[in-house]
Amino acid sequence: MGKKEIYSIAGKLKGHHDSDINGMIDTWENLLVSLDQFKTNIHDIGLEYAEKNHLTTWIVDTSNSTGVFKKEIQGFIESVVAPKCAEIGIKYFFVVLPQSAIAKLSTKNVAKINSGQEGMQTFEVASVDEALSMLQEVKLSS
Question: pLDDT of 9-20, one tens digit each?
Answer: 999 999 999 999
Question: pLDDT of 80-132, one tens digit each?
Answer: 999 999 999 999 999 999 887 777 777 776 777 777 778 899 999 999 999 99
| DSSP states of 78-104 | IIIIHHHHHHHT--EEEEE--SSHHHH
The SS3 call for residue 34 is: coil
Query: What's the topology of domain 3-96+105-141?
Result: Transcription Regulator spoIIAA (3.30.750)
24: β partners: 17, 58
**Quick one: CA torsion of 57, 59, 60, 65, rounded to 10 degrees?**
-170
pTM: 0.91
46: β partners: none
Instruction: Indicate whether 32 pLDDT > 80.
Output: yes
Q: Compute and round to an integer the Cα radius of gyration of the chain.
A: 14
How far, in Å, CA of 120 to CA of 50, rounded?
Answer: 14
**What mean pLDDT comes out for the span 64-88?**
94
pLDDT at residue number 1: 59
Q: Percent helix, strand and coil across the chain, each rounded to 5?
A: 45, 25, 30
Domain range annotation of the chain = 3-96+105-141
Amino acid letter for position 51: E
How many CA atoms lie within 13 Å of 17's alpha carbon, on the beta-carbon side?
18
Q: State percent of the chain over pLDDT 70.
A: 97
